[in-house]
Amino acid sequence: MEGQMTNKKINKTPPHKLNKKIREQLKSINTSAFVDVMARQFGYNPRYVLMNNVIPLNDGNRLVARAITVRYLPARPDFDEIKPKNEKSPEYAAFEIAGPGDVIVMDSMETSLMSIGGDIKFLRLKQRGIDGLICDGGVRDMGSVEKYNIRIWGYGKTSNLGTMIGTPCATNEPVKVDGILVMPGDYIIADDDGVVVIPRAICREVADAAIEYDKLEEWIKNKLSEENLSPGKYYPPDEKTYEEYKKSQ
């Protein structure tokens, strides 16, 4: 019907391209390794994939998960009247199509005043077994949310009422979070150092390259320890370093 919003795309979440075994393996690799690999081997400038201003809001393990997206727009009374209500609201629709191995990624208009949820909302994340949440907004009730064992990254903590700032308008569509494009089905690597987006189209190739690069860095650390040398002999790795590493394998 004209003038009404819908969630036509909520059932189009693509299947996982990285299985659980690979995701668990990637959890041992720092986000910096993914940034290096994507820049050097795939031509992705960090400004395309690295969220610089999103910080961890709680402690826990590194996140490797598939993105389910939610987009917010500025609040306005007439707009709020036509958006899907209650269980059909876009953020709740995202919760219901996500599960283990997924992360909710919210385009929250780049302000910590935009509270995207807190204790009661995030209880459902725990119930659904969702791995984490990334936003460029604020999060309420972190003292209570801590017990849900869900890793959360955002612009900060807030007590503000988010509905006065923005309103959720779409589920599983392309979003911009901290200036970075995130497509439904992309993979998010996040730890205490940063949040990195791995495009779905190349996620398997990036995963394989990151695993190999992590092995290379471990080899470099062992060589430097054995030889008691400056890092400059092997790092950053050049063609000679790569050749010596390959011969040792």
Position 10 scores a pLDDT of 52
Position 1 scores a pLDDT of 33
186's tokens: 């992309």
Q: What is the mean pLDDT of the chain?
A: 92
- Give me the phi and psi of 126, to 5 degrees please: -65, -45
43-201 CATH: 3.50.30.40
Domain spans, the chain = 43-201
Residue 80 confidence (pLDDT) above 60: yes
Residue 249 confidence (pLDDT) above 90: no
% of the chain residues with pLDDT over 70: 95
**pLDDT of 173-225, one tens digit each?**
999 999 999 999 999 999 999 999 999 999 999 999 999 999 999 999 999 99
Distance CA 226, CA 235 (A): 15
DSSP the chain: -TT----TTTT-PPPPSS-HHHHHHHTTS-HHHHHHHHHHHH---HHHHEESS-EESS--PPEEEEEEEEEEEE--HHHHHHS--GGGSHHHHHHHH--TTEEEEEE-TT-TTSB---HHHHHHHHHHT--EEEESSEES-HHHHGGG--EEEESEE--S-GGGTEEEEEESS-EEETTEEE-TT-EEEE-SS-EEEE-GGGHHHHHHHHHHHHHHHHHHHHHHHHHT--GGGTSS--HHHHHHHHHH-
Position 184 scores a pLDDT of 97
CB atoms within 10 A of CB 134: 26
Residue 245 confidence (pLDDT) above 90: no
22's tokens: 């690979």
